[in-house]
Amino acid sequence: MKVAFYPGCVSRGGCPELYPSAVKVAAQLGLELEELTDVGCNGAGVLSREVSDPINARTFAKAEQRGLSTVMTICSTCTGVMGQANIKLREDAAYRERINREYLADEGLAYRGTVAVKHLLWILHEEYGLDRLKAAVKRPLRGLKVSPFYGCYIRRPEVIVEGKPQRKQYLERIIEAVGAEVVDFGGKGRCCGFPILAANETNSMAMVAAHTGEAKSKGADCMVTPCPLCHLNLDGGQPKAEAQKGAPIGLPILHLPQLIGLSLGFSSEELQLKRHIVTTRTVSEKVQLLT
């Protein structure tokens, strides 16, 4: 199957380990990605919708132009922001018409409302198939204890799950599918604090400490997240969170494609696990022993 691939900004910026991991995993699974190379940042919930809705409409129109009906994201925030924009553009014909006319027409583009925005996480369940994923697993991650952390934008608001409440369990199912053990905890659907890093660093770091600390106390070897913005805070912000909390945490944070990639047989080097701020050594060692 073929999808339009929207890699977002952070997967090649602050989390450069994510992009190659995602590409490798997709290739191994036979998921054909056609990258949208000439589209822009969706706004990430920062930019006003007056400017981000046209940017996103253009992205969708570009996918349509290539004959593709699914835009795949590898970031919860991209999924939510673009997903909400898409829902509005699809459902409000007058609004879509205005955006097309005022912003896209002079490029010869027009969004017709036929695209679906889906995170790799959703595509694996809904289009690829979990059984197929299980069949592709070469190295089941037995004994690896993994806590899921979703990222707000892939779960809320309710419209985002488009009538599929099971989407709120997808990450746990993937952890199980790759042979690992789910360590459930209360913070899995809560906010990592990234959006207020500038406005209120104290609160932001407190959130990091709370969620990583909780997962760690429940016995998790690592956390997995489908959102690189969450990753920036949970991983990149963890030393600062520890300093603020006054106690160590030391919980490695994996990107979703890295977890899947390990089970498909990719090495830590191939998945660039050494790039993380919080060392992933314990995870790599545990996985090594499984081979």
Partner 1 sequence: MQATFKVHRYDPEAGGKPTSQPYTLDLPDDATILDGLFKIRDELDGTLAFRASCNRGFCGECTLRINRGGRLACMTRVATAKNKDGEITVEPARFARVLKDLVYDVDRQLWQKIKAVEPWLQPNGGVQPEHEHIVPDEQLRAVRNAMKCYYCGLCDDGCSVIPFDNTFLGPAALTKAYRFIADPRDHAQAHRLRLVGEPKGMWDCVHCYEADEHCPRGIDPTARIIDIREKAVAMGIKSGATNPQVARHYDSFAASVKKTGWLDEGRLAVETWGMTRLFGLLPVAWRALRRGKLPIPYLHRKRPGAERISEIFKKAERRPS
Cβ proximity of 21 and 257 under 8 Å: yes
Q: What value, to the nearest 5°, has the Cα angle with vertex 141 and ends 125 and 262? A: 75
H helix or E strand, kind and range, residue 225: strand 222-225
Closest CA to 78 of 109, 120, 16: 120
Q: Which residues contact 105 (CB under 8 A, 6 or more apart)?
A: none
- Residue with Cβ nearer partner 1 (133 or 209): 209
Q: Give whichever of 13 and 265 is closer to partner 1, judged by the CB atom.
A: 13
Please identify, using beta-carbon distances, which residue of 29 and 148 lies nearer to partner 1. Answer: 148
Q: At which residue do the structure tokens 């879509």 appear?
A: 96
Question: In terms of CB distance, is 204 or 263 closer to partner 1?
Answer: 204
Residue 69 beta carbon to partner 1: minimum distance, rounded to whole angstroms: 21
Q: Encoding tokens for residue 56?
A: 């996103």
Taking the complex as a whole, the smallest distance from the CB of residue 132 to partner 1 amounts, in Å, to 32
β-partners of residue 146 are 182, 222
For partner 1, the closer of residues 31 and 85 by Cβ is 85
Q: Smallest distance, Å, CB 71 to partner 1?
A: 15
Binding residues vs partner 1 (CB under 8 A): 9-10, 13-17, 37-41, 43-51, 54-55, 58, 102-103, 107, 152-153, 156-158, 190-191, 193-196, 198-200, 202-203, 206-207, 210, 236, 239-240, 274-277
> 206 or 290, CB closer to partner 1?
206
CB of 47 to partner 1, least distance (A): 6
CB of residue 126 vs partner 1: minimum separation in angstroms?
Answer: 22
Which of 87, 89, 82 is CA-nearest to residue 110?
89
Pick between residue 48 and residue 291 the one whose CB is nearest to partner 1: 48
Instruction: For residue 192, give every residue at least 6 positions away whose Cβ sits within 8 Å of its Cβ, in sequence order, or none.
Output: 149, 151, 207, 208, 211, 225, 227, 229, 230, 233, 234
Smallest distance from the beta carbon of 128 to partner 1, in angstroms? 27
Q: Say if residues 168 and 125 touch (Cβ distance below 8 Å).
A: no
Rounded to the nearest angstrom, the gap between the alpha carbon of residue 11 and the centroid of all alpha carbons in its chain is 10
Q: Taking the complex as a whole, how short is the minimal distance between the CB of residue 199 and partner 1, in angstroms?
A: 4
Produce one character per residue of 126-152: b if its CB has 16 or more CB atoms within 10 Å, e if not. Answer: bebeeeebeebbeeebeebbbbbbbbb
The whole-angstrom distance between residue 27's C-alpha and the CA centroid of its chain comes to 18
